[in-house]
Amino acid sequence: MAPPPTLGPRIKRLRLQRGWTQVELGARAKITGEYVTLIEGGKRTGTVAVLQRLATALGVPLGDLLGLPRSERRRT
């Protein structure tokens, strides 16, 4: 399944807002900078676990990272 077309740009925008390089984000999310590059470029989606680590590193809820409307988010 292809990643949503806005996922990579959303991650990049959040990363740049924080002034981080891809390597810095990768280190914070415990993935490689190269993997961040692939996700931002839309060449990889990332597992749910990886996307959760990226969201945590960026300080946003996973639903925000995925661009889900609040009405579609699961209540926990």
Q: Is the pLDDT of residue 75 over 50?
A: yes
Domain ranges across the chain: 7-58
Which CATH code is given to the segment(s) 7-58? Answer: 1.10.260.40
d(CA 70, CA 67) in angstroms, rounded, equals: 9
Instruction: Say if residue 46 is exposed, middle or buried (CB neighbours under 10 Å; 0-12, 13-18, 19+).
Output: buried
- What pLDDT shows up at residue 76? 47
* Each residue's pLDDT tens digit, 44-66: 988 999 999 999 999 999 999 99
Q: Which amino acid is at 34?
A: E
User: By the 8 A CB rule, do 71 and 30 touch?
Assistant: no
- Which one-letter DSSP state was computed for residue 60? S
Mean pLDDT in the chain?
90
